[in-house]
Structure 1
Amino acid sequence: MSFIETHNVVGMTCDHCARAVRAEVGAIEGVTDVAVDVAAGVVRVTAEQPVPSTALRDAVEEAGYALA
């Protein structure tokens, strides 16, 4: 069973932004897929279990952005 979560991310403006967020969020244990839509400011995370909000926030901040 997979869990899919969608979150708004503030500050992304280009493909580099998307790659940075994808890399950091994808490194969270249990995450199996990360899709980033820069134009919409959204990241969709697919994981084996719900992703702890602190882990997601820390990953997005490590990439240089913020959850809305």
Structure 2
Amino acid sequence: MKFDLGPHVAVVGESTTADRLSWFEILRHALSLRHKEVRLTNLAVSGSTTTQALTRLPALAFTTRPSS
């Protein structure tokens, strides 16, 4: 069974990325107009430090299985 979700963009950051009017949300809207297959995930947390943001990096890891 093939399980392919297509392109996925995930970001970590702080308040400038977490805001609903941030650059990331503008990018999400722009991509949705032409590239509906691209998934976007915002893992930013307002008020977080660089160290705190880095602790969320493992959430970006995923494994792939070969197609059968």
TM (normalized to structure 1)?
Answer: 0.31
Query: Which structure features the higher share of helix residues?
Result: 2
Higher Cα Rg, which structure: 2
Going by fraction, where is strand more abundant, 1 or 2? 1
